[in-house]
Amino acid sequence: MDIEAQMDEVLTGKDRELRRQAFLTLVGSDAWPQVLAPHVISLQGYEINGELFPDRVTFDGAAALIAKDEDKIYRSLEILGARFTDELLLAVAREMGPELVEHALVNLRTAEGERALMLERVLYEADSGWVKERAARRVIRTRLKTEEPTRMQLMTWLGVAGNLGDFIDEIREYPPLYLEEWSSLGRCQISEEQFVNRALALLGQGPEPLAYLLRLDPIPPEVMHRVMAAAKPDWLINGLEVAIIEALPSRELIPLTELAVRLGGRHLAVAVAWLSSAQLGPQLLGILVEQMKQEGGRERLSNALWVQRRAPSANHALEQGRKGQPLDPMDAAALVRQLQGPRMLELVQEIIEKPWPEMMDSVLRPLCAINPEAAEAVLNLSKNPHPELSKRAQQALEWPDVIWPEKDEEDLPATYAPLGEGI
């Protein structure tokens, strides 16, 4: 069969075996440039219910032929992006292993968008430790300075490889946004104050930073207070789901689970799901037994979790704060969760005006981090003509774990870096 007949078979043949044989014959011949072309590769599949799927047997066979010829390797990398070209190159990656890394890195330096994402997958398929290669450092530094999906994937691999800390300058400049990025930072135990403050500041917007904060050892003491302050009903469900996804067996989550049990309904269901997780159960049981011993055996476990003690009280926090007495952290968190609307704004002014020093850190600080209206109220008070009032509000603006509104971007420290979509 001549080349023209073989090309016809490759492009229009109905028999999968004959089409595959013709394709592999041409890949191994001098006519290979004709078949290693996007329009040809995109047809090398089989149809099921009107949808075309890649023929991986064909691509595995072609990979063995491509791996022997540098020109074919470069051609395969060059056309990556068209339909099924990723499947072909992944097959080449499995065939060549680490030998493909150097070739793929050359292409990754200039790739963008979906093509960059595909190249990173090819690199990972060729060598899961490619992120440790010295030759990869320059391109990794560049990729970490983007908000493309490739950054999230890259941070995940760096976290697994354990060398995320080698790129700490880039991460400081472009802090985490997504769950996977926070998780990678936590897995590598990068506990810089900048990241802790940013995570605390973002908790009110979503529970994703839990994947970082609850992996730190030790966990910063202010984390639990901020978590409980943020735990409004929807947040609570999402927070426990993050704990399940990320397998976070932290004792810090027990008060959060207690709150979910008290709320009942969907919250109880998620609490039970977390408690019954196969990865968490044994460790949690030990924590609960220890807690029962510490509290004198006054507790009982039912189908989910129940700790028989005084429920956190927002009213108790308000009463203690106005007396100038220290607040129980769980009471203060309950008060923060309940504050909203005009009542919240009145209390913000009251705390700064009186002032109520015991409520500055335990109530006002988490309230400003979680509620943008509270943060804006403090910002407005900082411009008040009354000098003492404005001074106290300005001191509050120094809190590094709060994102304040209406600040010029260039004047903000890294903690206040603009947020991306999706968190």
From the list 147, 191, 149, 152, the residue with the least C-alpha distance to 173 is 147
pLDDT at res. 286: 60
pLDDT at res. 293: 58
pLDDT at res. 237: 95
User: What is the band of 417 on the pLDDT scale with cuts at 50, 70, 90?
Assistant: very low
This model's pTM is above 0.85? no
Answer whether residue 233 shows pLDDT above 90.
yes
pLDDT at res. 254: 82
More confident residue, 240 or 268: 240
Q: Given phi > 0 = left and psi -120 to 50 = alpha, else beta, which region is 360?
A: alpha
Q: Name, in order, each residue with C-beta under 8 angstroms of 155's C-beta and a sequence gap of 6 or more.
A: 144, 164, 171, 176, 180, 181, 184, 185
The answer to which of 3-17, 37-51, 149-163, 246-260 has the lowest mean pLDDT is 246-260
Question: What digits encode the pLDDT tens for the residues 318-365?
Answer: 999 999 999 999 999 999 999 999 999 999 999 999 989 999 999 999
pLDDT at res. 248: 84
pLDDT at res. 420: 33
- Please list the residues that pair with 47 across neighbouring strands: 52
Q: Name, in order, each residue with C-beta under 8 angstroms of 43's C-beta and a sequence gap of 6 or more.
A: 10, 11
pLDDT at res. 273: 83
Answer whether residue 226 shows pLDDT above 60.
yes
Answer whether residue 170 shows pLDDT above 90.
yes
From the list 390, 414, 391, the residue with the least C-alpha distance to 403 is 414
Answer whether residue 278 shows pLDDT above 50.
no
Answer whether residue 138 shows pLDDT above 60.
yes
Answer whether residue 373 shows pLDDT above 80.
yes
Looking only at the bridges linking them, the beta strands covering 45-48 and 51-54 are antiparallel
Mean of pLDDT over the chain? 86
- HSE-CB at 177 with a 13 A cutoff on CA atoms is 18
User: What is the band of 306 on the pLDDT scale with cuts at 50, 70, 90?
Assistant: very low
C-alpha Rg value of the chain to the nearest Å: 28
Answer whether residue 294 shows pLDDT above 80.
no
pLDDT at res. 131: 92
pLDDT at res. 1: 66
pLDDT at res. 300: 42
Using an 8 Å Cβ cutoff, are 61 and 24 in contact?
Answer: yes
**Rounded percentage of the chain residues whose pLDDT exceeds 70:** 87
- Please list the residues that pair with 46 across neighbouring strands: 53
pLDDT at res. 288: 53
Long-range contacts of 235-241 (CB under 8 A, 24+ apart): 235/206, 235/207, 236/260, 236/263, 236/267, 236/270, 237/266, 237/267, 237/270, 238/206, 238/207, 239/207, 239/210, 240/270, 240/271, 240/273, 240/274, 241/270
Answer whether residue 136 shows pLDDT above 80.
yes
Answer whether residue 87 shows pLDDT above 50.
yes
- HSE-CB at 317 with a 13 A cutoff on CA atoms is 25
The answer to which of 13-22, 80-89, 238-247, 414-423 has the lowest mean pLDDT is 414-423
- Please list the residues that pair with 53 across neighbouring strands: 46
Query: Amino acid identity, residue 406?
Result: E
pLDDT at res. 166: 93
**Rounded percentage of the chain residues whose pLDDT exceeds 90:** 66
